[in-house]
Amino acid sequence: MNERDSEIIAAQLMHDGHTIVSDESVADVVILNTCSVREQAEIKAIGKSGYLSRIKRRNPNFRVGIVGCMAENLGAQLFELNPAIDFVVGPQRIHEITGILHSREKNLLIGEGNFAYIHRDFDHNLCQGKCTAFVSIMQGCCMRCSYCIVPKTRGAERYREINDIVDEVHFLAENGIKEVTLLGQIVNNFGSRVMPIVNKKRPFIQLLEKLNDIDGIERIRYMSPHPSFFTDDLIDAHRALKKLCRAVHLPIQSGSDRILREMRRPYTREKIVQIIEKLRSAVPDIGISTDIIVGYPTETEEDFLNTVSLVKDMRFNMAFVFKYSPRPGTKSAELPDDVSEQEKCRRNKILLDITEDVSLAYNKNFKGTVVEVLIEGHAKRGDDVMFGYTSNHYKVLFNANEEDIGRIVNVKINDYTTTVLIGEIV
């Protein structure tokens, strides 16, 4: 979501006459787009702003801005942490950045803004030369997970109109985009509070069906869904819609029903198992990844072992494991952070080791097979090495040419690591 917001900010500034530069030391303004989901992200952003303040000491006209969730979370406190910061803008007000750059005064813009206005003119001019694009379909969240700061920083759920989203994806298809990823805090709850169910299909499914009919778009992804809204109509869509990718990111957070209740996650371990079993029944080769938090307040060894057993049983293709950190203003921040850092690290490593073993086993099975890959761009291994993803979201490396970007090709897999498949076009 921050990548998409950064595209919007940059595109609006370019429309206003600014130019992107590759070196921050020669820039007139540097804008840090920040995250507050975990404490470490804020620490990094504050450290980076401190580095930029040194540039400002050499060039008084240089300007530094903090935008995004940390801006909303800390607000005017950021000016105290670093007096060199010139403006602070929350994620709901990013469409106002061009205006404040015309002022030399310090500016603080936080709170509710105009979500629809942010997406005017389909600001995707930075997608030139790319074949994939992010499309934000909603913003904010009305859930109250005890550990999550998103409702505070991004506000309540707001949705774009389906036709507006369809128009944007048509625009992207006409400009060479082959794959779109739909973005929302709880993307599979899109439109549920204001749009009707039609033919027993929720608004999100209606949107997927319309996008599936757009010529030029070859693949559709979405993130991140919530288990509570992963209903049968969405599982049926994965079976029925040709362009909907065979991949799902399903954040489970914990395998302990007790911890899930403490987290205010309104589903159970059994519900997670049912969703995954239905998905794999509908699409046998579907790739399923997840998010997990270890060390949540009061998490016992028994709670943790319940998570371990769920991860082993469900054999996720990939898991992003995070050590719990309290976020100010959340319900869990009122609780003692009673799991030691050492224990959090231990639990974190155990889960990462399990998921790496599972990933390696999955990747081993691909050796000698042929997979379909959308070529996205240059890898970091050499000028001729390209990368792309399968529909079920396995990363693949192979030799190809610049003009091949955007093509879907067949790749024979010759080798593999924990994180990538390596092959050749056939």
Q: With cut-offs at 50, 70 and 90, classify the pLDDT of residue 33.
A: very high
- How far is it, in rounded angstroms, from Cα 293 to Cα 37? 12
pLDDT of residue 128: 65
Q: With cut-offs at 50, 70 and 90, classify the pLDDT of residue 343.
A: very high
CA separation, residue 135 to residues 117, 221, 246 (Å):
14, 10, 19
Phi, psi of 30 (to 5 degrees): -125, 130
Overall pTM > 0.85: yes
Q: With cut-offs at 50, 70 and 90, classify the pLDDT of residue 118.
A: low
Q: With cut-offs at 50, 70 and 90, classify the pLDDT of residue 117.
A: low
Q: With cut-offs at 50, 70 and 90, classify the pLDDT of residue 278.
A: very high
* 89 pLDDT higher than 90: yes
Amino acid at 338: D
Q: Is the dihedral of CA 133, 154, 37, 355 positive or negative?
A: negative
- How far is it, in rounded angstroms, from Cα 238 to Cα 244? 6
Domain ranges for the chain: 2-109, 115-364, 370-425
Is there a contact between 153 and 36 (Cβ–Cβ < 8 Å)?
A: yes
Mean pLDDT of 267-281: 98
- The label of the residue with tokens 């991140």 reads 224
Q: Which residue has the higher pLDDT, 261 or 101?
A: 261
Residues contacting 392, CB < 8 A, separation 6+: 245, 246, 247, 285, 286, 287, 317
Strand order from edge to edge, sheet including 132-136: 132-136, 179-183, 219-223
Environment class of 365 (CB within 10 Å of its CB; exposed 0-12, middle 13-18, buried 19+): exposed
pLDDT of residue 384: 85
Q: Which of 125-129, 163-167, 362-366, 420-424 has the lowest mean pLDDT?
A: 125-129
* 127 pLDDT higher than 90: no
Q: Beta partners for 91?
A: none
Structure tokens, 86:
């010139």
* 272 pLDDT higher than 60: yes
CA separation, residue 270 to residues 207, 260, 305 (Å):
29, 12, 16
- How far is it, in rounded angstroms, from Cα 121 to Cα 336? 47
- How far is it, in rounded angstroms, from Cα 426 to Cα 410? 6
CATH number of 2-109: 3.40.50.12160
pLDDT of residue 330: 93
pLDDT, averaged across the chain: 93
pLDDT of residue 126: 57
pLDDT of residue 65: 95
Structure tokens, 9:
């900010």
pLDDT in tens, 201-242: 999 999 999 999 999 999 999 999 999 999 999 999 999 999
* 119 pLDDT higher than 70: no
Structure tokens, 77:
């406190």
Nearest CA among 402, 372, 403 for reference residue 388: 372
Is there a contact between 25 and 52 (Cβ–Cβ < 8 Å)?
A: no
pLDDT in tens, 34-77: 998 888 889 999 999 999 998 888 888 899 999 999 999 999 99
The CATH superfamily holding the domain 115-364 is tm_1862 like domain (3.80.30.20)
Q: Which of 91-95, 125-129, 262-266, 325-329 has the lowest mean pLDDT?
A: 125-129
Instruction: Please state the length of the chain.
Output: 426
- How far is it, in rounded angstroms, from Cα 289 to Cα 362? 13
pLDDT of residue 25: 86
- How far is it, in rounded angstroms, from Cα 131 to Cα 8? 17
* 5 pLDDT higher than 70: yes
Phi, psi of 33 (to 5 degrees): -95, 120
Is there a contact between 110 and 71 (Cβ–Cβ < 8 Å)?
A: yes
Is there a contact between 351 and 299 (Cβ–Cβ < 8 Å)?
A: no
pLDDT of residue 356: 95
Structure tokens, 98:
């061009």
- How far is it, in rounded angstroms, from Cα 43 to Cα 70? 10
- Give the CA dihedral 107, 108, 112, 114, nearest 10 degrees: 20
- How far is it, in rounded angstroms, from Cα 250 to Cα 253? 9
Q: Beta partners for 110?
A: none
- How far is it, in rounded angstroms, from Cα 198 to Cα 206? 8
pLDDT of residue 120: 55
CATH fold of 370-425 reads OB fold (Dihydrolipoamide Acetyltransferase, E2P) (2.40.50)
* 426 pLDDT higher than 70: yes
CA separation, residue 196 to residues 113, 206, 276 (Å):
25, 10, 27
Mean pLDDT of 185-201: 94
pLDDT of residue 125: 59
C-alpha 346, offset from chain centre: 26
Structure tokens, 96:
């106002």
- The label of the residue with tokens 């801005």 reads 65
pLDDT in tens, 157-176: 999 999 999 999 999 999 89
Q: Beta partners for 411?
A: 371, 425
Q: With cut-offs at 50, 70 and 90, classify the pLDDT of residue 422.
A: very high
* 122 pLDDT higher than 70: no
- How far is it, in rounded angstroms, from Cα 44 to Cα 35? 10
